[in-house]
Amino acid sequence: MFRKFVAEEQVSSQSKVKSSVQRAILRKIKDQYEPHGLTDELLEALLPKKSPMIIAKCQNHINLIFAEGSEVVFFNQRDGPYYPTLKTLHKAGDIMPKIQVDKGAIKHVIQGANIMCQGITSGGGKVFEPLPADTPIQIMAEDKELPLAIGITKLSTDDIIKVNKGIGIESIHVLGDGLWTLDLE
């Protein structure tokens, strides 16, 4: 999604949101990630209620969400789920479900490839919890502490293990892509 993302070309507008819209966005993010460890204090640290929230509208109906004077913290496409950026995950820790890929998949994932079922079910891959299809997840690498990508499951984790063929996770945001290097200043 952000492989060839360039802010000057793709960001069409930036605007401060009304407080009611800000509360609605914060409520959606909290509802989505609270079961996975997002606390009120952590959400307040990432997107302070007193600081104005800014949304940058981009091509392909992508919204980048950040507090005034900070970097992008969350993003979404259309009315879909909110995803934290990798920088947010590196600071905040485990606030979303995760799946681990084996060492052989690392190079391909960083280049933006989707994750095949075999990369998850092989020796170094790991499914930490049962998840349904279309769940936003962080993608961990074997022997690494921090996530290297964010994606969405195309199959349930049970189907990934049973079928063991084809694309299991669609990559959305990876280390080094346009969102990782984005500077909206």
How do the residues of the chain divide into helix, strand and coil, expressed in percent and rounded to 5?
Answer: 30, 30, 40
> What would the pLDDT profile of 41-100 be if each residue is shown by its tens digit?
999 998 998 889 999 999 889 999 988 777 899 999 988 899 999 999 998 888 999 999
Looking at residue 8, its amino acid is: E
* Average pLDDT rounded to a whole number, residues 97-105: 91
Confidence of residue 184 (pLDDT cuts 50, 70, 90): low
pTM for the whole thing?
0.88
Q: What is the DSSP string of 31-47?
A: HHHGGGT--HHHHHHHS
Calculate the CA dihedral of residues 46, 152, 158, 107 and round it to 10 degrees.
Answer: -100
